[in-house]
Amino acid sequence: MLPTTMQAIEISTPGGPEVLKPVERPVPTPSHGQILIKVAAAGVNRPDALQRAGKYAPPPEASDLPGLECSGTVVAIGTGVTRWAIGDDVCALLPGGGYAEYVVTNQDHALRIPEGMDMVQAAALCETYFTVYSNVFMRGGLQAGETFLVHGGSSGIGTTAIQLAKAAGARVFATAGNAEKCAVCEELGAERAINYRDEDFAKVIKELTKGKGVDLILDMVGGSYIPRNIKSLALEGRLVQIAFLEAPVAELNFAFIMMKRLTMTGSTLRPQSDLAKAQIADALRTEIWPMLDGGTVKPVMDSTYPMARAADAHARMEGSTHIGKIVLTV
C-alpha cells in the first residue's frame, strides 16, 4: 500500500541554496505511459540551481520540485506501460520532481541499473549521459580519429564527455580550474588538461594540434570562451553550446565562421519532447549501457548528502570545488 503523502524538498522562493526547504507533498499518480518510482537517490545538477534561482522555469505539466534524474524502484505503473513492472530497479531522466521520496516519469525515459552499480552511482547517470551523448555524438557528430575539447572537464558533464569521447576513439583535451582537477581529467583519458587559470586554452590547443585546431568543442561556459572557441576550431569544426556559466552574450567576428566553414549549435535537454528523450534513451541503451556494464566508462562521484541537506549539496556545487557528481540520498 503506497502512502498518500511524501517528504520532498521545494524551492520556497527564488534565491540561494538556503531557499531549499523540506515539505510534505501528495505522492504523485502515474498517468498513461508513466511509472511511479520510489526514489533511492537523486542527482544534483546545474539546472537545479538555475531553477532554484528563478532562472529556469520547469516545462508545463512538470513538477515544480527540482531534480532531473534519480534511481529507485518502480512501485506503480500507469495505463499503457509495457517496458517496466512493479519491483523493477531503474535509473531515470525526470521532467522535475527528483528531490522527493516518489516521482513520476515517462516509461521510455528510464533505463535499467547497469551491472555492478549501486543506486547512488545510478542516480548520477541519466541527466549527464543523456546530455553528453545527445550533444557530443548525435548533435556534434564526433567520430573516431577526431579531436575533441570539453570545457569544465572535472564536472559531471566533463568527466562523462572525456570518457565517452576517449572510448569512441577521439583525441581528447579538457579545461579545468586547478592541478587536481586537471590530473583527474588526464586520468580519465584526456591527453592534456589545461588549467584555465594559468593558461589560455586557445593558445595551448593551437600548439597541441600544430595550428590545425580541434574538430569539436563542448562548451558550458560561454561569454569570453566563445570567440576563443571559434579560434580553436579546425576547418569544418563544430561548437556545441549546452550552458552559459559565464554569459550568453559575446562579441564575435563571423568572418572566421565563414572562412573555416564552422557549425555552431546547442541544446537544452529538459524542454525537449518525450519522443526526443526516448530516442536518446534508446541510443544509450544500445551504445553506452554495455560500456557501463563492463566498466569501460563509469560515473565519477564527488559526494553524497541526505535529501534534507539539499542546500549543502547546492552550496558545494556552486562553490565549484567538486569533482564529478553530487547525489542526494533518500
pLDDT above 90 for 150: yes
> Would you tell me which CATH number, out of the four given (3.20.20.10, 3.40.50.1220, 3.30.1360.30, 3.40.50.720), belongs to the domain 129-266?
3.40.50.720
Q: What is the pTM of this model?
A: 0.96
What's the rounded mean pLDDT across residues 58-64? 92
pLDDT at 84: 98
Please tell me the distance from the alpha carbon of residue 37 to that of residue 33, in angstroms, as a whole number.
13
Contact 101, 7 (CB under 8 A): yes
Q: What percent of the chain has pLDDT over 70?
A: 100
Q: Which residue has the cell 547517470?
A: 125
Give buried/exposed letters for 171-208 (b at 16+ CB in 10 A, else e).
Answer: bbbbbbbeeebbebbbebbbebbbebeeeebbebbbeb
Architecture of domain 5-125+270-329: Alpha-Beta Complex (3.90)
What's the rounded mean pLDDT across residues 199-228? 98
Confidence at 49, pLDDT banded by 50, 70, 90: very high
pLDDT above 90 for 270: yes
Please tell me the distance from the alpha carbon of residue 174 to that of residue 151, in angstroms, as a whole number.
6
pLDDT above 90 for 1: no
Residue-wise pLDDT tens digits, 9-47: 999 999 999 999 999 999 999 999 999 999 999 999 999
Residue-wise pLDDT tens digits, 277-323: 999 999 999 999 999 999 999 999 999 999 999 999 999 999 989 99
Cell readout for 124 is 548520477
Residue-wise pLDDT tens digits, 216-266: 999 999 999 999 999 999 999 999 999 999 999 999 999 999 999 999 999
pLDDT at 119: 98
**Fold matches, 5-125+270-329 and 129-266:** no
Parallel, antiparallel, or unpaired: how do β-strands 233-241 and 214-219 relate? parallel
Output phi, psi for 120, to 5 deg. Answer: -65, -45
Give domain limits for the chain: 5-125+270-329, 129-266
Residue-wise pLDDT tens digits, 152-188: 999 999 999 999 999 999 999 999 999 999 999 999 9
Q: Mean pLDDT across the chain, nearest whole number?
A: 97
What's the rounded mean pLDDT across residues 68-81? 98
Residue-wise pLDDT tens digits, 115-141: 999 999 999 999 999 999 999 999 999
CA atoms in the 13 A half-sphere facing the CB of 46: 19
